[in-house]
Amino acid sequence: MTIYEADWICPVAAPSIRRGAIAVDGGRLRDVGPAESIQHIGGARRVRFPGCAIIPGFVNAHAHLELTVLRGFLENRSFMDWILGLVQAKYQFLQYDAMRTSAEFGALEMLRAGVTAVGEVMDLGMSWDAMREFGLQGVAYQEVFGPADSVASESLAGLRTKVDRLRRDETETLRIGASPHAPFTVSKTLYEATRDFARSNRLPMTAHIAESRDELLLVRDGAGPFAEGQRNRGIEVTPRHCTPVTYLDALDLLGPDMLLIHVIEIDDQDLDRLQNSGVFVVHCPKSNAKLGHRTARVSEMQERGVTVALGTDSMASNNSVDMFEEMRAAVFHQRMLTGRIQALDAARAFRMATIDGAKCLGLEDHIGSLTPGKRADFVVIDLSGVSTQPVYDPIETMVYSAARGDVKATFLAGREVDLDDSELLKQAAAIRERLLGAV
Ligand SMILES: [Zn+2]
């Protein structure tokens, strides 16, 4: 048994505790409360973190670890050009070995930033190995692509093979899911096949949807750059005469087993669809802003009872893992969008980055709050510096003033993470040379 004391304990599921402590044993939280009340017989070790807050590990509900080394490689492109550049870099220049390095690099970065669980969307499956190696928890969703109806059965067969292999190593808090990528890369037939495969195998799903105006044009009108691109490749484009979210609803893809990513280009009826279906949403405010997309109507979704998590998306579009920045951006964007101070507050943003993320991944019984019985995945945030003092409310301070550099320690199942980055930094530099030589 070890007892960790700090100036603040922020359990999320309960009010923050001044001069609190958590007791950890066997990788699980045993007790959470005021420091003087956490007294255990039998000489438990006591570790003190003066000037710090202890919080649950952040849940980053949307990421692509495999793309980490593309940080800074695809700047100032239109969304379509950005996607094309990404696909080319992935398949022509990176391939398996560099993607593995990239995923490991990303996993290390997550842990350094206080993220202990991710909603990871992976293509080549390298992220799964990296998550297991580094101890990151969460759901790794295997992507599936195929814009032409004719390749749907082949794409599904690939998905089935990958999932069957990966699922052998699943644990209670490290799960496999499936992800039909996006309307511009997935045909109607493949959406339906993936849905049936996921439901019959009890796999959670996640899907990029309603991210851009170009995607809306493709789905609704069969027009715009994505439609042109498909026609140029000989793929038939069918206008659906509805929004992307309505399209997914018509395909029976909205439900409690689906985590929708982005959900920006929606109408008022789509808000009803989100509310009535029990679907989950992950919001990526910084990535959306950087790619020149709009921001999601998060506060309206939350007012309707939709659970919305926070995600960084990949380093090719963010370019940093900093959940403090994401929380800040989420609050600021909602207040700008609505003109209302009440649209989103720090406490809600903090829940989005922790317990709501865990709910979106279906893991809220195990992670996402400092609750006795849950895994001891927690983070120590140093609030003693000049950029965070004085502290009146630790959550307000963390959301509005803190940064990933204030993460003092990350614990996974009660063990402090201690990672050496020297080899990965060397490998990332070599990949940079390969990418620069290739373009
Ligand atoms: Zn994404």
Rounded distance from Cα 284 to ligand 1 centre (Å): 9
**What pLDDT score was predicted for residue 145?**
96
Cα–Cα distances in angstroms (integers) from residue 396 to residues 9, 85, 409, in the given order: 14, 39, 20
What is the pLDDT, as a whole number, of residue 41? 66
pLDDT given at position 413? 98
CA of 84 to the centre of ligand 1 (A): 14
Q: Are residues 406 and 268 in the same domain?
A: no
Task: Give 296 Cα–ligand 1 centroid separation in angstroms.
Answer: 15
Per-residue pLDDT tens over the stretch 230-246:
999 999 999 999 999 99
C-alpha 315 – ligand 1 centre gap (Å): 10
| Distance from residue 6's CA to the centre of ligand 1 (Å) | 36
Kindly state the average pLDDT of the residues 371-393: 98
In a domain? residue 224: yes
- Mean pLDDT taken over the chain: 96
In terms of domains, do 314 and 228 share one? yes
307 and 204 in a single domain? The answer is yes
Q: Are residue 319 and residue 397 in the same domain, yes or no?
A: no
Ligand 1 centroid, distance to 63 Cα (angstroms): 6
Q: pLDDT band at 106, cuts 50/70/90? A: very high
**Per the domain annotation, does 305 fall within a domain?**
yes
Q: How far is the CA of 44 from the centre of ligand 1 (A)?
A: 44
* 366 part of a folded domain: no
When pLDDT is averaged across residues 47-66 and rounded to a whole number, the result is 98
Q: What percent of the chain has pLDDT over 70?
A: 99
pLDDT score for 196: 98
Q: Domain residues for 33?
A: 2-56+378-412
183 alpha carbon – ligand 1 mean position (Å) = 13
Q: Note whether 350 and 395 are same-domain residues.
A: no
Which has the minimum average pLDDT: 33-42, 109-118, 162-171?
Answer: 33-42
Ligand 1: centre distance to CA 352 (Å): 18
- Domain stops at, among 360, 387, 421: 360
| Per-residue pLDDT at 296 exceeds 90 | yes
Asked if 123 and 159 sit in the same domain, the reply is yes
Residue 304 within a domain: yes
Q: What is the mean pLDDT of residues 385-404?
A: 98
Distance (angstroms) between ligand 1 centre and the Cα of 62 equals 6
Of all residues in the chain, what percent are helix, strand and coil, respectively (each to 5)?
45, 25, 35
With H, G, I as helix, E, B as strand and everything else as coil, classify residue 283: strand
pLDDT at 42 over 80: no
β-pairing, 137-144 with 17-25? unpaired
pLDDT at position 173 is: 98
Residues 217 and 291 in one domain: yes
Regarding whether 348 and 328 lie in a shared domain, the answer is yes
- What values do phi and psi take at 251, rounded to 5? -90, 10
The answer to the question of residue 177 being in a domain is yes
User: Rounded CA gap, 212 and 177, in Å?
Assistant: 24
- CATH number of 215's domain: 3.20.20.140
39 or 410: which carries more pLDDT confidence?
Answer: 410
Residues 95 and 197 in one domain: yes
Q: From CA 115, how far away is CA 135, in angstroms rounded?
A: 11
Whole-number pLDDT of residue 179: 98
Cα-to-centroid distance, 94 and ligand 1 (Å): 18
Q: Are residues 43 and 132 in the same domain?
A: no
Phi and psi torsions of 410, nearest 5°: -120, 130
- What is the pLDDT, as a whole number, of residue 438? 77
Residues 403 and 328 in one domain: no
Centroid of ligand 1 to alpha carbon of 120 (angstroms): 9
Provide mean pLDDT across the span 379-389.
Answer: 98
> How many angstroms does the Cα of residue 66 sit away from the middle of ligand 1?
11
CA distances (Å), 406 to each of 66, 362, 402, in order? 26, 29, 6
pLDDT over threshold 90, residue 87: no
Q: How far is the CA of 292 from the centre of ligand 1 (A)?
A: 15
CA 354 to ligand 1 centroid distance, Å? 19
Res 15 pLDDT > 80: yes
- pLDDT at position 101: 93
For the chain, give the percent of residues with pLDDT over 90.
90
Give me ligand 1 centre to Cα 171, in Å. 24
The alpha carbon of 39 and the centre of ligand 1 are apart by a number of angstroms equal to 45
Question: 7 pLDDT exceeds 80?
Answer: yes
Examine the domain organization and report whether 67 and 40 are in the same domain. no
Q: What's the pLDDT at 437?
A: 82
Ligand 1 centre from 291 Cα, in Å?
12
Number of folded domains that form the chain: 2
- Label residue 90 by pLDDT band (50, 70, 90): confident
Torsions phi, psi for 95 (to 5 deg): 55, -165
Whether the bond into 390 is cis, omega within 30 of 0: yes
Q: For the sheet with 115-122, list strands across it.
A: 58-63, 115-122, 137-144, 174-180, 205-209, 258-262, 280-283, 308-310
Distance from Cα 222 to the centre of ligand 1, integer Å: 23
Q: Is the peptide bond before 318 cis (omega within 30 degrees of 0)?
A: no
Residue at 250 is within a domain: yes
State the CATH number of the domain containing residue 398. Answer: 2.30.40.10
- The reply to whether 214 falls in a domain is yes
Q: What is the pLDDT of residues 328-356, one digit of tens each?
A: 999 999 999 999 999 999 999 999 999 99
In a domain, 438, yes or no: no
How close is the Cα of 180 to the center of ligand 1, in Å?
11
How far is residue 266's CA from residue 246's CA, in Å, rounded to a whole number? 9
